[in-house]
A and B are shown apart, each in its own frame.
Chain A
Amino acid sequence: MNFKRIQWIFVIAFAIFDIVLASYFLIGTHFTAMVKQQGQQQLILKEMHNDEISFAELSTKQPMGYYISANRANSQLTNAAAKLDDQTVRLSNGTLISELNTPIKVSMLNPERQLNDYIKNSRHVLYGSHYVYNKALSSSSTIVYTQMMEGRSVFGGEGQLRFKVSRNHKVYAYTQTYLNNIQVLRPRSVTISQQEAVTWLYKHNYIPNNSKIRWAKLGYTKTLLTKDQTVYVPTWYVEIKTKNSDDVQRLRVNAFNSTLMRNTPEEIDTTQLNQ
């Protein structure tokens, strides 16, 4: 082997070494970390497909949300019920139960079309403009409208309008719950994305194999109760259906800190704070 050849080998070896070192600087840590995280998400989505879990495309956008409080019990509906026309109304535990004197005929496919107009009239439904039709929660026999908080639905029994639909596509009655004194507690902050919420559920074994994620929506759920107020937190509400059976489960992930929401919110004594 002549000297020139040895020199060549060294030049090539050092050149490769230089390129490797230089790439560390050029790519940098930020890039590496981002690629890593993105790659991990993609891997999990692939794993889910392998486990026969089907879902529509999941958004990676991280929306903003708030901590919000509202009054627990309120006499708002009781006080205003007298304003309603053409219906028989009674109140039970804060829920307004109404039977309509003139039933509303609704279309089979888009029942909300007729009801959207109906609820706007304050003689028909109290605070109707605070509610929006929720297709995901509705069924052929019940049409559900949810109250809106900062542009998003409230999930749970409070803050709902439920219209019962008979077989002949007529609405004879509805129930209403209403949240008042809605207050934003702190400036908004970033929540996890739809994709992060679903992959979190999968990673923590909440999604069975061979199932379908029907929808995943961001809304507000109760997280804590004080003596007279409720604190709401942004929540990803996910419906999962097992393919072989009719099992349907709905799970809620806290969108601020990625934890599964408890079924019953914690009760906190705040008397010492208000002294």
Chain B
Amino acid sequence: MAKIKENWLSILLAVVVILSMIFSALLWTNSLGYEWIANNDSEKGASQQTALQSVGDIYLPTQVILTNSDESQKLLYGQKKNLVLTLRKEMQKWQLAGFRRVARNDSSAYLNYLRNDDSIMLSYPDAMATGIFNQTFSKSIDTQKMSHINHIVIPLKGRDVVYLLDDDDFTVYRLNITQNANRSKLKKLIQNSGQRIDVDHKIVDNQPTVTYPHAIKLPVFAYRLSTQNIDNLTQNLLRSTNSSAFTVKKKGNDTTYMDGASKRLDYHRDTHTVSFNNYLGKDSTYQGASLYRHLYKRLTATGTNLDWMRFDSVNEKKQTIVFRSYVEGFPIFNEHGYGAVKLQANADGVERGQLSLFGLGIPLPIKESRVKLPPSSVVYNELRQAGKDKDVTGLRIGYRWDDQNADSKVVKLEPTYYAYYHGKWVAYQTLIDDK
């Protein structure tokens, strides 16, 4: 005791030194803090408009599913009120307490939560970092305990609670809503008019999946095409601190733009697509929410129209996020990737991106027409008969953006099933025809 008293100053010095080492280490491994702030200013381009689509707008859940008291499930769409935005507003008012794990590594228990009777569920298309969820819904969920969220289940009866579900290890956390649960408002909101279709949650190959038990009819949509100028895009993507002009090389249908030796952009004129590489020379990986934030910043820097853009999928190992245009909660696919942006953060010292000049602009009124789709089981069977089922690891309904004729200023979107086949979403009809 006497020794401690004697050496207290040395001990204090040791403590502050160790503390500074811990903080420094955290800062190095977690690039969220410093690097992002430092990059902030350099990314504001003159061609950029007021970024109306914030982090919380791009990283939003896309699907709203209502589970009735008999456990039947309905997918809600075509709701004038925009359920996702309205629910976000309500959830931002909630006060939460008592973060508690109620299930883990138990797929049948997990399925019970997915099919919780008398509840509304908001689902992300892929795992969302909890830090981003916190930012979107003004919450402070412990990101150490729960790193990702796939679904938010809000029971409409019983205790005022909310469940957060993580598909990865079938984990469910429960929180009590201590203030502003506002259930009657939520009930009224979902009772209002809008479209609903029968769905059914199943766990297929250890993966929670939305299936469609009956044939359904979905509307056709149309948009004014929004085109970005290739010169603007190259400016946005190659812009560097020094104002050196970049070199341009043309070869057939491809044009390569280089800014020094570190930035390269390839423009494929025939398909109107662009791929770019940025050699950063240092290898650092982004963890959790910092990856989502970093790639959101890179997305806004492209200058692409973000009006209909949503987070679609993530691969943290490959440091990649795909952003995709959505209509009424359904993803939009095109074989050239129109309306989608794929970005890879600095994984091996290179930052990469794939996008096109085309996006969706103003929605257009068209003569009402609906496309009839078979039940998911029929689609699975057809895939099996075509011998493709073993390579298919996912099935979802999406909208097909037909090949864009460059002269056409309009885009027509028609619904169909998409199968995840060899790392790509392919229209199921294409797979079946290609025997």
Contacts and interface: CB of A to CB of B under 8 A. Distances in A.
Interface of A: 4, 7-8, 10-11, 14-15, 17-18, 21-22, 24-25, 28-30, 32-33, 36, 64, 66-67, 69, 183-190, 192, 196, 200, 223-224, 226, 229, 231, 233, 256-259, 268-270, 272-274
A190 B13 contact: no
Contact of B50 (A17, A189, A192, A272): A192
Contact of A257 (B19, B49, B85, B366): B49
A170 B50 CA distance: 47
A192 B366 contact: no
A33 B366 contact: no
A154 B417 CA distance: 40
B81 to A, nearest CB: 7
B82 interface: yes
7 contacts: A14-B19, A14-B20, A64-B85, A67-B363, A270-B222, A270-B410, A274-B367
A257 B80 CA distance: 20
B33 interface: yes
Interface in B1-18: 9-10, 12-13, 16-17
The 4 closest A-B pairs by CB, nearest first: A187-B82, A21-B23, A14-B16, A69-B365
Given A33-B40, A192-B50, A274-B366, A25 B408 contact: no
Given A21-B24, A257-B307, A273 B410 contact: yes
B203 interface: no
Contacts of B202: none
Contact of B13 (A11, A32, A223, A257): A11
B33 A24 contact: yes
Contact of A187 (B16, B40, B79): B79
A32 B365 contact: no
A256 B307 contact: yes
B293 interface: yes
Chain B contact surface mostly: mixed
Contact of B85 (A8, A11, A33, A190): A190
Nearest to A271: B410
A64 B408 CA distance: 31
Nearest to A22: B23
B52 A270 contact: no
A207 to B, nearest CB: 16
Given A11-B9, A188-B80, A188-B85, A258 B20 contact: no
Interface of B: 9-10, 12-13, 16-17, 19-20, 23-24, 26-27, 32-34, 36-37, 40, 49-50, 52, 57, 78-83, 85, 135, 222, 224, 293, 305, 307, 327-328, 362-367, 408-410, 412
A231 B33 contact: no
Contacts of B409: 268-269
Nearest to B134: A30
Nearest to A229: B365
A226 B52 contact: no
Contact of A273 (B34, B52, B364): B364
A266 to B, nearest CB: 8
Contacts, number: 121
B362 A224 contact: yes
A28 B82 CA distance: 30
Given A7-B9, A270-B364, A270-B410, 9 more contacts: A24-B33, A29-B293, A33-B40, A69-B365, A187-B79, A187-B82, A188-B82, A223-B362, A273-B366
A14 B52 contact: no
A40 B16 CA distance: 37
A268 B364 contact: yes
Contacts of A183: 365
A21 B28 CA distance: 11
A84 B204 CA distance: 65
Contacts of B50: 192, 196, 200, 258
Given A18-B23, A274-B367, A29 B33 contact: yes
A29 B364 contact: no
A17 B20 contact: yes
B43 to A, nearest CB: 12
A18 B19 contact: yes
A190 B57 CA distance: 9
A231 B362 contact: yes
A259 B365 CA distance: 22
Contacts of A196: 50
A67 B223 CA distance: 11
B362 A226 contact: no
Nearest to A183: B365
A258 B418 CA distance: 35
A273 to B, nearest CB: 5
Contact of A29 (B19, B24, B37, B224): B37
Contacts of A200: 50
